Amino acid sequence: MSTEDKKQHACEFEHEVALKVYIDALLLEPEAIEVMPETVVPVAEQVELATAIEINVETPLEVAEAETASSQKIDSPAELMAPVAGEIVEYLLFKVAGFLTLSVPLERLNGIVKWNGEITPIPGHADWFLGLISNRGRQVKVIDIAKFVIPENHKSRQAVEEERQFKHLLLVDGGRFGLVCDELGQVLKLSADKIRWRDNRSSRPWLAGTIIEQMSALLDVDSFIEMLKEDTPLDDVS
């Protein structure tokens, strides 16, 4: 089998897996609603899984996302991020505004693209919503994550304005959102006990916890995207 064939085969396989996850999720839905009526939004779930399938062809990371997404939805919101004890999860560290090291679970990323500066500003939105960028024919909402996570009145805010240099876009939510970052860091393979998980998430729900050794703030991608969607009520143009 040639490499091309293998690739094609792998794609088909991924497609199958994703489809199964999708159907399973649909079957599971009524039960899930019963368990967590306030957290499960069936429509959103379908949409999310549907995009996951679509992008599957592009990146194998997606299968993992689709699987975890369907199993996580049944959990309580506090447990959304915390992996099973002993399970090793990969996290990507990245730097914003020159001083803040954030991290995301690698499997929640849909890709990383170089920042080329060709952005279409959309006026009348929050200052952390920079505008739209076109990536592979899709419109990506570009988020200045440093501005999002550091309150306007905070003393480090000035550094955010001065130090930030856009180098990369981290794509999340099936490529709908792109988070600008200065610098990509290392990828860490960590078990859950290397992270201090926050138990009280009433404030800053997007902050899942802290990677202890690197003292890096770990993003809860799901909650983060939820908040972005609330505040960027643009029609999905993609």
Partner 1 sequence: MSQSEEAENNPVTQWVTFRLEDETYGVNVMQVQEVLRMTEIAPVPGAPCYVLGIINLRGNVVTVMDTRSRFALPPHETDDATRIVIIEAEDQVVGIMVDSVAEVVYLKQSEIEVAPNVGNEESSRYIQGVANRDDGLLILVDLDKLLTDDEWKEFNSM
Q: Is 226 in the site for partner 1 (CB under 8 A)?
A: no
Q: Is 6 in the site for partner 1 (CB under 8 A)?
A: no
Q: Is 15 in the site for partner 1 (CB under 8 A)?
A: no
Residue from 36, 154, 161, 165 in contact with partner 1 (CB under 8 A): 154
Q: Which of 168, 187, 190, 188 is nearest to 179 (CA)?
A: 168
Q: Which of 156, 42, 178, 204 is nearest to 109 (CA)?
A: 178
| Candidates 46-54, 109-117, 148-156, 223-231; binding stretch for partner 1 (CB under 8 A) | 148-156
| Candidates 63-71, 81-89, 96-104, 130-138; binding stretch for partner 1 (CB under 8 A) | 96-104
Minimum gap (Å) between residue 56 Cβ and partner 1: 31
Taking each helix axis as running N to C, give the angle between helix 3-35 and helix 61-72, from 0 to 180 degrees, rounded to the nearest 10: 10
The binding track of 165-204 with respect to partner 1, each residue x by CB under 8 A or -, is -------------------------------x-xxxxxxx
Q: For residue 163, what is the enclosing H or E element?
A: helix 157-163
Minimum gap (Å) between residue 189 Cβ and partner 1: 18
Please give the Cα distance from 20 to 14 (Å, whole number).
10
DSSP string, 117-162: ---B--SSS-TTEEEEEEETTEEEEEE-HHHHHS-TTSTTHHHHHH
Nearer to partner 1, 55 or 160 (CB): 160
Please give the Cα distance from 26 to 19 (Å, whole number).
11
Please give the Cα distance from 195 to 184 (Å, whole number).
20
Q: Is 95 in the site for partner 1 (CB under 8 A)?
A: no
Please give the Cα distance from 179 to 10 (Å, whole number).
29
| Candidates 78-86, 87-95, 130-138, 214-222; binding stretch for partner 1 (CB under 8 A) | 214-222
Footprint on this chain of partner 1 (rule: CB under 8 A): 99-102, 149-151, 153-156, 196, 198-204, 207, 210, 212-213, 215-217
